[in-house]
Amino acid sequence: MKYFLSLLFLLSFQVSILAQNEKPKLVVGIVVDQMRFDYLTRFNDKYGEGGFKRMMNEGFNCKNNHYNYVPTYTGPGHASIYTGTTPKYHGIISNNWYDKEIKAMVYCAQDDSVLAVGSDSKLERMSPHRMQTTTFTDENRLFTQSKGKTIGISIKDRGAILPAGHAANAAYWFRGKEEGHFISSTYYMKSLPNWVNNFNASKINKSYLKEWNTLYDISTYTESGSDLNNFEGGFKGKETATFPYDIKKLAKQNSGYDILKATPYGNSIVADFAIEAIKAEQLGKDNFTDILTVSFSSTDYIGHNFGVNSKEIEDTYIRLDLELKRIFEALDTEVGVGEYTVFLTSDHGAVDVPAYLQSLKIPAGYLNNAASKERFNKFLTNTYGTTDIVENMSNNQIFLNKEKLKDLDLNINNVQEAIVNEQIKYPHVLKAYTGITMSSVNFTDGIEALLQKGFNQKRSGDVILLNDPAYISYGKTGSTHGSGLNYDTHVPLLFFGKGIKKGQTFKKTEITDIAPTMSALLGISFPNFAIGQPLDFVLE
């Protein structure tokens, strides 16, 4: 009997070791901010073999991957990727939103109970506390009894914090201005680790204050529009938005080190820091799976500034391809070929500059918010005798003043309906819905279903508005995002590495499928409010 029990224990132990060995030693989640799916195909001929193409050739390409909610912004996008659910449940309804309880705007990563670490700035008090559900990174920490590390890295604080989850070891983001280094907050630590201090002290970031010219001859950049046009913003201190850019010279007029965020060198800094984190934190070196989340934010800053069709965007993605290659080579060396798993996606896409679309006779344009507000205020005054029943208008939402409604003995249902009937008459308002409708009617398809998955009953407004396609509230140059249309929802989804099949599909996948897929790969619990499904055709 003793021999039998000993043999049983040995077999159980060997199975356990085998199961551990079947898991990747490190999972790397990469988010490329504002990356439309067609950047994979449009710039394909300019990419080398070691970055995007390595993922596509050796891994699995989900070509019909979409966001399944509105609004498509950075904060909600990063939260949804890692929680496997939508703003309806995880609560990150925008980057900034109106808080009905405290009657003020709040930021998705803002936390006044913590302090910055590595900076004296009062603006860097950040944590994930507003995100109400777990991430798959949290579930991995729970599963491994906190032995599996989680590190989040980005230029943007929200791009580092939300993916890393609540139980992360650390999240690091880039503080620009006059500082130009990576920082964190007391939510994670009392002081920066030595390796971070050493990285910041190395002045590597200062080395990127240099000329930004196209990597290859600009005449070969045939996948984008002309360099000189009327659809791009540019930098203060330079008359035209044309190559080359003297970043060192322009830095002073463009908030110091913040200028790097709006150049490809911001992505280079993130890659440098991520590679150093892999080495210094010994990620993927033991039997407990670690997770590294990396968000490249400079693509978003550049897209907002120069637009979807710019030479600047093309050059940025050509250079990002090389940064990905550098990261993958570091993973090959530090963790081992075939011992890690990577996924790559985006937090949203972007619309072509409406002025550019107009030049091609494609329906597009800009919202006249001042005229709409004036008209709406007149309606409120004529109907209710005051504009005070509206407390806030932001993020295409209208928030009512419940106390004022009570004072005037107004029924909230009737007021919401009256505002919907008024707003739908305004130019370029495509759809309008009451909060009560969003809370009570079950939409299963169409834009209404996307709006509902982005509607959080406790945090969202009383009336939800949707604009006409390609009509935006933005300046006349550069691109933006936020809608439920394909230019904002259709983003890449690539898987590559251990446990991943080789292949591709046009089957529709949704952003909320990523976290359950990674959870299934790791054999851990799904995030606690995940609504997505594991993509079994991706996994070996």
- Listed in order, strand segments (DSSP E) in 360-439 are 365-366, 390-394, 397-400, 429-434
Alpha-carbon gap, residue 492 to 61, rounded angstroms: 8
pLDDT digits (tens, 9 = 90+) for 353-363: 999 999 999 99
Q: Which residues contact 57 (CB under 8 A, 6 or more apart)?
A: 49, 502
Task: Count Cβ atoms below 10 Å from residue 45 Cβ, excluding itself.
Answer: 9
Instruction: Determine how β-strand 493-497 pairs with β-strand 463-467.
Output: unpaired
Mean pLDDT of 232-261: 98
pLDDT of 315 reads: 98
Provide the domain limits for residue 283. 24-357+489-522
Q: Looking at the structure, do residues 349 and 379 belong to the same domain, yes or no?
A: no
Q: Catalytic annotation on 289?
A: no
Cα dist. 505→485, 492, 494, 537 in Å? 21, 12, 11, 9
Q: Looking at the structure, do residues 274 and 126 belong to the same domain, yes or no?
A: yes
The sign one gets for the Cα dihedral 20, 22, 26, 27 is negative
Alpha-carbon gap, residue 121 to 105, rounded angstroms: 20
Q: Position of tokens 């990174």?
A: 137
The DSSP letter of residue 387 is S
Alpha-carbon gap, residue 174 to 164, rounded angstroms: 16
Q: Looking at the structure, do residues 327 and 447 belong to the same domain, yes or no?
A: no
Q: Looking at the structure, do residues 165 and 240 belong to the same domain, yes or no?
A: yes
Q: Looking at the structure, do residues 112 and 198 belong to the same domain, yes or no?
A: yes
Alpha-carbon gap, residue 90 to 218, rounded angstroms: 44
Does pLDDT of 393 surpass 80? Answer: yes
Tokens of 170: 């650390």
Tokens of 539: 């996994």
Give per-residue burial for 501-520: e unless 16+ CB within 10 Å, then b.
Answer: eeeebeeebbbbbbbbbbbb
Alpha-carbon gap, residue 24 to 385, rounded angstroms: 64
Confidence band, pLDDT 50/70/90 cuts, at residue 19: very low
Q: Looking at the structure, do residues 109 and 204 belong to the same domain, yes or no?
A: yes
Residue 480 placed within a domain? no
The DSSP letter of residue 456 is -
448: CATH = 3.30.1360.150
pLDDT digits (tens, 9 = 90+) for 431-473: 999 999 999 999 999 999 999 999 999 999 999 999 999 999 9
pLDDT of 21 reads: 62
Number of domains within the chain: 2
124: CATH = 3.40.720.10
Q: Looking at the structure, do residues 81 and 198 belong to the same domain, yes or no?
A: yes
Residue among 358, 426, 418 at smallest CA distance from 396: 426
From the list 72, 74, 135, 512, the catalytic residue is: 74
Q: Looking at the structure, do residues 333 and 463 belong to the same domain, yes or no?
A: no
Does pLDDT of 304 surpass 70? Answer: yes
Residue 157 placed within a domain? yes
Q: Looking at the structure, do residues 342 and 372 belong to the same domain, yes or no?
A: no
Confidence band, pLDDT 50/70/90 cuts, at residue 8: very low
pLDDT of 22 reads: 87
Does pLDDT of 139 surpass 50? Answer: yes
Cα dist. 445→425, 470, 509 in Å? 24, 21, 15
Residue 155 placed within a domain? yes
Is residue 487 classed as helix, strand or coil in its secondary structure? helix
Residue 363 placed within a domain? no
The DSSP letter of residue 49 is T
Mean pLDDT of 242-246: 98
Q: Looking at the structure, do residues 239 and 320 belong to the same domain, yes or no?
A: yes
Q: Looking at the structure, do residues 101 and 211 belong to the same domain, yes or no?
A: yes
Q: Position of tokens 């739908």?
A: 424
pLDDT of 10 reads: 37
Instruction: Determine how β-strand 503-505 pairs with β-strand 60-62.
Output: parallel
Alpha-carbon gap, residue 355 to 429, rounded angstroms: 19
Q: Looking at the structure, do residues 133 and 268 belong to the same domain, yes or no?
A: yes
Mean pLDDT of 148-156: 98
pTM of the full predicted structure?
A: 0.96
Instruction: Determine how β-strand 65-66 pairs with β-strand 509-510.
Output: parallel
Residue 48 placed within a domain? yes
Confidence band, pLDDT 50/70/90 cuts, at residue 20: low
Does pLDDT of 13 surpass 50? Answer: no
Average pLDDT value over all residues in the chain: 96
Does pLDDT of 287 surpass 90? Answer: yes
